Chain A
Amino acid sequence: MAEKTSVSVAIVGSGGAGVLTTGAMLLEAACKAGWNGLMTRSVGPQIRGGEAAALVRLATQPVECLADNVDLLVGIDWVSAQRFEGEIALAPGSIVISDPSAGPPPPVLAPAGTRIIELPLAQLTKANPTWRANMIALGAAARLLGLDDEALRQIIKLHFEAKGAGVVNASVEATRAGGDSVAAVAGAFRLAPPQSANGKRWLITGNEATGLGAVRGGVRFAAAYPITPASEILEWLAPNLPKVGGTLVQAEDELASINMIIGASYGGVPSITATSGPGLSLMIEARGLATAAEIPIVVVDVMRGGPSTGIPTKSEQTDLNIAVYGLHGEAPHLVIAPQSVTDCLLSTQWATFLAEMLQAPAIVLSDQALGQTQVAVSRPADISFIGKRLCATEIAAPYKRYALGGSGVSPMAIPGTRGGQYTADGLTHTERGIPTSGAREHGAQLDKRCDKIERYDYGALWATLEGDGEIAVMTWGSLTGVAREAIARARADGIAVRLIAPRLLLPTRPVEMAAALHGVKRLLVVEQSHSAQFHRFLRAHYTLPQETSVLYRPGPLPIRPSEIYRQLTRGESL
């Protein structure tokens, strides 16, 4: 059988059955053996007993998104697995591993004619009470992929060493037994040898990368209110910030968390909070305060299905409107959207840098598909964005905190600085920060806050621009990698397609966008929303080619590379 360059595995089962652990261990073992890959989770809302799926893709090259289809579906059990209809679609030639005592897999996942390999999980665990069903399933999946037993053993040791040698040995035996049970199809999806990876290898999730990006950018204070799917950012920062001299505080609600970071940043310490849609909604008023009082803060929104509580555990790109427009009054601010799991690091670091440089709030618009996806990658390169706030040190009386002129960024006195005392204020104020309702001062300060953001040189990071030709795909956030994969297929067919993915959503960059779109005759906009928010945003701020079409749908069903590819290769009309 030909070796594959990319294999996709879905492991499903009830929550608490160890599905996510199994997926993570499979990814780790493959990563240890040198392959690239990622794992995305799809879970129901229940803490225990709901349905869970670990979607693992392993590849010889780095990958940024799930593939269209699943090659290997492993059912630890099939309870509620029909809820993954559409999310898990089998590829031609796929194999399903199923315990006969758990009944047949749901037809919506495995239609008639699907090749099913029986794995007697219940029977094996009954005969060997120390074996866990998920470890047996892990061994079976690993054997089909041709994964080295030694890599698997090392990962088992890493995970279970603290539980004692008995657990490690039982798990090793269970995986071996699982592998032996599927000997008939061993190597059915054998991966080609990994390309040699240079340097250190990392396993990291988007939420962890976001936390690391904040620390690299200089953040030393975080305020936290838990929310799915953003909590992992805060839980990564909680033990790690103190290691570098910083602090995390749990707040009583999101209103408190954003006000805490405004207070800490006013005190001179770069600060962050992370939330999801409901929290971002609560933070709107204080984001306006940070704009008016010119306090740098970073707010990460890991988007999930909305509105209201929506689908907390699954992804959508529908907080764009609220991030861009969701403020009363005129409140220029920054909105930055990471484009991959590792780009969460760069984008958050850049957002911190920009917030500090421009004394303005920055929103990082991540999503569940990035935040809770774990990737195996080479260590991301260091970038040199360490924000340096313009502070007032030598102060001549009277100090003008909000002085006009220059770039619009005025020196900020940090409490403790003699002669710099001022009152930061959300009221319209004079250059000295004194409240006023005068039209002239109002206009002058609005201009100041707008100009400092509009005139800044954001350089090449404002967007990802790849390829050339008269056809372009415009997308953002987690769909960037999906579009890139679709474009690569189209290019392989001889169709030249550009990728345009703005990382900087606000402020808009009309000049740069016009240059990026120069020569584009047909444009395909791709986004994960019900009302085409991104397309409406683009139309409001940019001139798009006359022939523009939109591929859009709400979450949680991710847009696949093949859907974009089909649009690109459909012929004359997109």
Chain B
Amino acid sequence: MSATAPLACKPGDYKSETKPIWCPGCGDYHVLMSLTRAMATLGLPPEQIAVISGIGCSSRIPAYTSCYGFHGVHGRSLPLAAGLKIVRPDLAVIVASGDGDGYSIGGNHFLHACRRNVDLTYLVMDNHIYGMTKGQPSPTTEPDFDTALTPGGSGVRPFNPLVIALASGANFVARAYSGNPLETANLIVEAVRHPGFSFIEILSPCVTYRPDQRAWKDLVHSAPVEATDDAARAARRLMTDDGFNLGVLFRGNRAPYRPATDAAPCDQIELEKGFEI
């Protein structure tokens, strides 16, 4: 940044004028608050941040920030963000998703984003339901949760995103609760600063289709142990985790993805030599 540029460092500077479409009381309002607070703490100018999303309630978040944003197609935010970050390593790239977008239709990209370890921050606002399509079960919905699409419940075992992330190679794994915005903001700051692929599962209640999630505020608690860099230990903890442990659960030290580059680029005319007889 040039010396004359004013530092944008108030959370309000990272908010756009666009009014969110979320229901009153939606957990995502708090996530937006945490995100803009984290941006202010990071002190990055808004034009140096890109917020990339797919489709769903949570994926509306890019336009509510004053940063560059991309609201793409359902489930494909991670590859889009990876393409951007690989060609523009100077930008901070934050990916926002939900449990349907990120774990169901986008599930394959989640695995490979963890493997690839591009320096991205992935925030999944998990409310265990498809909200935008009015209440169908997502991969994290309880099997007995009754919906119009699955009367009596889906009967399908929920997905454990943190275990999957760890097993697939994510370099930073944390859980947050939208109702603790300050703590969530701090986790986002740490995730952005941590090299490689950083994943934060944010429990963010859907007050419309999951009013039962109001009880989450009493269930969440700080993780009783410190974060580890030992993936095996983290895996054991996560497999027995009650789903409400908050904080950094794994902090890895894998080198982030680096694309193959040539130290001394040549003129493109050089490439033609391979065709000469």
Binding site for B on A (CB under 8 A): 28, 31-32, 200-204, 208, 212, 215-216, 220-221, 223, 238, 240, 242-245, 247-249, 251-253, 255-257, 259-269, 271, 285-286, 288-289, 293, 376, 379, 413, 415-427, 433-435
Contacts and interface: CB of A to CB of B under 8 A. Distances in A.
A204 B275 CA distance: 6
Given A252-B112, A421-B66, A423-B69, A244 B266 contact: yes
B86 A221 contact: yes
B116 to A, nearest CB: 8
A202 B277 contact: yes
A32 B88 CA distance: 44
Interface residues of B, number: 52
B148 interface: no
Interface string B87-104: 110110000000000000
Q: By DSSP majority rule, is chain A's interface helix, strand, loop, or mixed? A: mixed
Contact of B68 (A242, A251, A421, A426): A421
Contact of A249 (B51, B259, B267): B259
Contact of B72 (A249, A289, A417, A418): A289
B139 to A, nearest CB: 18
B83 A262 contact: yes
Given A247-B259, A256-B79, 16 more contacts: A243-B270, A244-B266, A248-B260, A249-B82, A249-B83, A261-B83, A263-B84, A267-B50, A268-B87, A285-B73, A293-B70, A421-B66, A423-B63, A423-B71, A425-B63, A433-B63
Contact of B262 (A243, A249, A261): A243
A256 B109 contact: yes
B80 A263 contact: yes
Given A243-B262, A416-B91, A423-B63, A263 B83 contact: yes
Given A421-B68, A434-B18, A435-B63, A255 B88 contact: no
A435 B82 CA distance: 24
A251 B268 CA distance: 25
B272 interface: yes
B240 interface: no
A265 B87 CA distance: 9
Contacts of A420: 47, 68
Contacts of B261: 242, 245, 247
Contacts of A425: 63, 70-71
Interface in B117-163: none
A435 B67 CA distance: 16
A252 B18 CA distance: 35
Nearest to B90: A416
Nearest to A419: B47
Contacts of B52: 263
